[in-house]
């Protein structure tokens, strides 16, 4: 299974509407609004999108994005 680092998980938590395809759409929309100066966020988003695209919906559903407190 694809591993996501802490920053990638945080980004996914912020934009997750509940489905893998929905999250991909949300991240693509956010990415389209980034300014040229937001290179670090663009790279993080690109890396996260690449990993999400490689996952199946079942693998995405198995991710624990919201740990129990």
Q: For the whole model, what pTM was predicted?
A: 0.91
Residue 69 lies in a domain: no
**Does any domain span residue 37?**
yes
> Residue 12 falls within a domain, yes or no?
yes
The number of C-alpha atoms within 13 Å of 18 and in the hemisphere containing its C-beta is 0
pLDDT digits (tens, 9 = 90+) for 13-51: 999 999 999 999 999 999 999 999 999 999 999 999 999
* Domain range enclosing 47: 6-55
User: What is the predicted pLDDT for the residue at 61?
Assistant: 92
63 falls within a domain: no
Token pair of 29 as six digits: 């929309």
Number of domains in the chain: 1
């Amino acid at each position: 299974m694809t591993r996501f680092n802490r920053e990638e998980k945080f980004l996914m938590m912020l934009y997750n509407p509940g489905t893998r395809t929905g999250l991909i759409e949300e991240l693509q929309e956010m990415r389209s609004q980034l300014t040229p100066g937001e290179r670090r966020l663009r790279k993080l988003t690109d890396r996260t999108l690449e990993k999400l695209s490689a996952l199946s919906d079942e693998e995405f559903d198995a991710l624990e994005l919201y740990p129990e407190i």
